[in-house]
Structure 1
Amino acid sequence: MGDTSILRPHSLAHVVFRTSNLPKMLGFWESFLGAECVFKSDAIAFLRYDEEHHRIAFIQEDSAGPRSATAAGLHHLAFSYPSLRALLYAYQERTKLGFEPAWCVNHGPTTSIYYKDPDGNAIETQVDNFETIEEANAFMTSDEFRQNPIGTDIDPRELLRQLESGASASALMTRVEIGSRHSVPAGI
């Protein structure tokens, strides 16, 4: 479980993006998260969407370019929803606003819908598929997960249709096993 001799933080406070297009990024993230801007200048902006004073910030840097899919560094941010229904309703709302997913997948531990922001940063929206951390940990140490740590692609429209037709969320969150898969789609 790692070195327990260091005092661990109790939470992740915020993420800061460098961008050459502050207005576009700010508009995207405000809409995408339903966030409010708590401060904005020509050089920096701060957003919040929960109890924290800010979760996402942006620094205007004119020389910044879009994120390269092959660049080293942060791959994506992930935002959790309390239920499959909430994740799928958020998907539906985002679709109405013009946000189309880049990838939809049941990883096993989570059901996830990925998007891209205007600078090419990947954003995961997810719901935990297991009731307890112990169940999730057991799956992540299973042969099924070892064979396929990436997951099985899903269609959120179909999941929403099934959910609204009375299918159980737990049945819909059970990953369909497809065999070996060890890489995410290009561009994610």
Structure 2
Amino acid sequence: MTALQSTTLDANTQRIAPFKMAHVVYRCADRKSMVEWYCKMFQARLVFEDDVLAFITYDDEHHRLAFFNMPELPKKNDNMVGVHHIAYSYQTIAELLGTYERLKGVDILPSWAINHGPTTSLYYRDPEGNDIELQVDNFADPADAAAVFKSEIFKQNPIGVEFDADALVAKWHTGASDDELCALGTCATGESLGPQFR
């Protein structure tokens, strides 16, 4: 029995799960730049700040992100254990591409643009080296997205196909449908793996 199988609930066990993820907290050497970057990223507002902590939110939650002021900490490097990235979902491909355009206008560009199959995703790196993913589901029905994981295409390429974000935006502005924009291979660059997955 695998570890995953041993934690699977049986038919007589009730699952009690959180109803939402509330917030993420960062320890920051340069808190000011982090708060400014995330406020731009999410069009967020500052709700609290003192010498130790800053809280921001982008919706009706009292805080979605918190930042500890810890200037004595060393810089993060890629050769350490920890969270790889945090993903945020948008409702439509138009919201995702509109966000890409808005962020490009303030010189925030993705480090990676890839269609994973189940999602179309833009990865960004914050000022202290943390990665976040902005994504949209490529299928209206979650069952269709789940089916991708069992497909031969996913078996052959579980990472996905990189795309040119500007080309996808141009296709969006010419009236391409959501299905066309979210199709695997649309505006492909010819690459399939990002550096963080190699």
TM-score by length of 1: 0.91
Partners of 1:44 and 1:58 within 8 A in 2: yes
The CA deviation string for residues 86-120 of structure 1, in whole angstroms up to 9 with x for no partner, is 11111001001010110000011110111111000
Say whether 1:68 aligns with 2:77: yes
Say whether 1:185 aligns with 2:191: no
Higher relative contact order (CA 8 A, sep 6+): 1
1:83 Cα deviation after fit: 0.9
- Alpha-carbon RMSD across the aligned residues, in angstroms, is 2.3
Q: 1:96 to 1:34 in 2, by over 3 A?
A: same
User: 1:119 and 1:12 mapped to 2: Cα distance?
Assistant: 23
Aligned length: 187
User: 1:18 and 1:106 mapped to 2: Cα distance?
Assistant: 31
- Counterpart residue type for residue 138 of structure 2: N
Q: What is the aligned partner in structure 1 of residue 148 from structure 2?
A: 139
For the pair shown, the structure with the greater C-alpha radius of gyration is 2
Unaligned 5+ runs, structure 1: none
- Counterpart residue type for residue 24 of structure 2: V
The CA deviation string for residues 23-65 of structure 1, in whole angstroms up to 9 with x for no partner, is 1111111111100111001111111001211111111112323
1:70 Cα deviation after fit: 2.2
- Counterpart residue type for residue 35 of structure 1: A
Of 27, 34, 44, 1:35 maps to 44
1:66 Cα deviation after fit: 2.6
Q: What is the aligned partner in structure 1 of residue 108 from structure 2?
A: 99
- Secondary structure in 1 aligned to 2:123? strand
Partners of 1:87 and 1:127 within 8 A in 2: yes
Identity value in percent: 37
Which stretch has the larger CA shift, 164-173 or 61-70? 61-70
Q: What is the aligned partner in structure 1 of residue 22 from structure 2?
A: 13
Q: What is the aligned partner in structure 2 of residue 25 from structure 1?
A: 34
1:187 Cα deviation after fit: 8.5
